[in-house]
Amino acid sequence: MLVAKKVFGNIPNIMTKSENEHYFIDDIVSIKNRQKSKMYVKEGKRIGHGSFGTVTQSYLSNNSTEWLGPYAIKRVVKCPKVESLELEILQNIKHPNLVTLEFFFESQYTTKDGGQVHQKNFVMEYIPQTLSSEIHQYFDNGYEFPTKHIKLYAFQILRALLTLHSMNICHGDLKPSNILIIPSSGIAKVCDFGSAQQLGGNGDLKTYFCSRFYRAPELLLNSKNYTTQIDIWSLGCIIGEMIKGQPLFKGDNAKSQLEKIAILLGRLPEPNTSSSVSQELQRNLHDQKFKKFMHWFPYIEFFDVDFLIKALVYNFAERWDAKQLMAHEFFDALRNETYFLPRDSNMPVHLPELFNFSALEKKALGEYYNSIVPPSN
C-alpha cells in the first residue's frame, strides 16, 4: 500500500500573485534527491482547469534571473477527508509512460471569511499536447488518425496500465485529455492521478468517478465490485475515439450512457448467462457482435476489430487485461516495423522505445513477455 507522508514546514501564501509575477517557496522538494530547497516560481498561462485543480505553465529559478522550464504546475486543494494517491503515485512510480514529477510544494490562501485553504502543488515536466487536441487536429482538418499512431499511443497507455495494475492501482479517469503526447517522437504519457485508487484493501471504494463517456458498465451500474479492468474499458473507448474522431458513447447520464453502449454491444447480459447458453448460441452472438463492430468501424482491419471486441466487454472478468492486449496481433505493426511518420512531416522517424521493460514490467508480463517483444529483442 502507498502511504501519504507529510513533509512540509513553512508554506507560502500564493493566492495573491498574478500571472508572470514570481513568488518565493522556501520548502520545495526535489524528486531527484528528495532534498528541500528554496526556489522562485513564476507562473504563466493556465493550461488546464479541471474539476480538481488548475494547471499552469511555469518556470523555476534559484536566483530569480535564470529560469528553468517550462514545467506544468498542477495545484489541488488538500482535502483531509479524501486522501488522494496522486502525490504518492507521482513520487514513487517512475515509468516512461507516466508523466514525470520534478518537484512539489505546499501552499495556502486565505478565504474572504478568514479560513485557510491548503493546497498541494505538483511541478511536472511540461508536455504541451494531449491526445484530445491531437484527435481534433486530425478530424477538424478532414483527416483520419493514422492507424500506426493509434497503435503507438494505445500500446504506451497499456504499458502504463500494466504497471499501475500490477500494484492493484486503477487510474480511474483515463480519457484523451489525460494522455499527454509528443507527436514528433510518438511518445505518450498518462497524467492526472487524482481519481486513482488502490484496490483490494479494506478502505471504502468510490463509485462515482471517471468521466462518463469513458466509464465502464460496472461503474455506470454503481457496483462496488469493480477491478482495475475499469481502465481497460476506458482505453477501448479512447481507441474507438481515435478511429471515429468523437467519443464512442456519448450519454447524458448513466442510463443513457448504458443505452449508447447497448447499441454497439447489445443488451447488458443477465448475471451468469454466459455459462448457461450453448456454445452455438455463444458463437452466433459473437458473429453478430463482429458484424456490428465491422459496421461501426468500417475502415479497420479484421485483427483491429477483434482487439476492440476484446477490450469492450461488459463482463470485466472476460475483458482482456493489459498484458493480453499488449500481446494481441493489433500491435504487430509496432513489433515488425520500427518507423512511423509524424504528423506534418515527410520524414519517417524511429518509434520510441516500446519494449525496454523494467524488471517489474517483465514480472507483470510473465509468460506474455515473449509474445510482446519483437523477435529480434
Q: State the catalytic residues.
A: 173
Q: Does position 137 bind ligand ATP by CB under 6 A? A: no
Q: Is 194 in the site for ligand ATP (CB under 6 A)?
A: yes
Whether the CB-CB separation of 356 and 156 falls below 8 Å is answered with no
Told to check if 223 binds ligand ATP by CB under 6 A, we report no
Q: Which grid cell sits at 204?
A: 471504502
Any alpha helices (H) in 266-301, and if so which ranges? 273-276, 279-296
- 224: annotated binding-site residue? no
> Smaller CB distance to ligand ATP: residue 129 or 324?
129
Nearer to ligand ATP, 90 or 300 (CB): 90
| Residue numbers 157-176 binding ligand ATP by CB under 6 A | 173
The angle, 0 to 180 degrees and rounded to 10, between the axes of the packed helices 254-265 and 279-296 is 100
Q: Residue 192, interface with ligand ATP (CB under 6 A)?
A: yes
Q: What are phi and psi of 313, to 5 degrees?
A: -115, 135
Q: With CB under 6 A as the contact rule, which of the stretches 32-40, 49-57, 147-155, 357-365 interacts with ligand ATP?
A: 49-57
**Residue 180 within binding range of ligand ATP, rule CB under 6 A:** yes
Quick check: 361 and 372 in contact, CB under 8 A?
A: no
Count other C-beta atoms under 10 Å from residue 284's C-beta.
Answer: 12
Q: Are 271 and 225 in contact (CB under 8 A)?
A: no
- Nearest-angstrom CA–CA distance, 78 and 38: 22
Q: Work out how close the CB of 74 gets to ligand ATP at its nearest, in angstroms, rounded to a whole number.
A: 5
Residues 73-92 that bind ligand ATP (CB under 6 A): 74
Rule CB under 6 A: is residue 47 a binding residue for ligand ATP? yes
Per CB under 6 A, 101 contacts ligand ATP? no
Measured at CB, which residue is nearest to ligand ATP?
50
Query: What is the identity of the amino acid at 252?
Result: D
Does residue 70 belong to the site contacting ligand ATP (CB under 6 A)? Answer: no
The full length of the chain comes to 377
Distances (CA, A) of 356 to 108, 155, 159: 41, 13, 11
Stretch that binds ligand ATP, among 52-60, 246-254, 274-282, 312-320 (CB under 6 A): 52-60
d(CA 281, CA 279) in angstroms, rounded, equals 5
Residue with cell 529480434: 376
| Stretch near ligand ATP under the rule CB under 6 A, chosen from 16-24, 123-131, 139-147, 334-342 | 123-131
| Contact set with ligand ATP (CB under 6 A) | 47-48, 50-53, 55, 72, 74, 99, 124-128, 130, 173, 177-178, 180, 191-192, 194
- Residues belonging to the binding site for ATP are 78
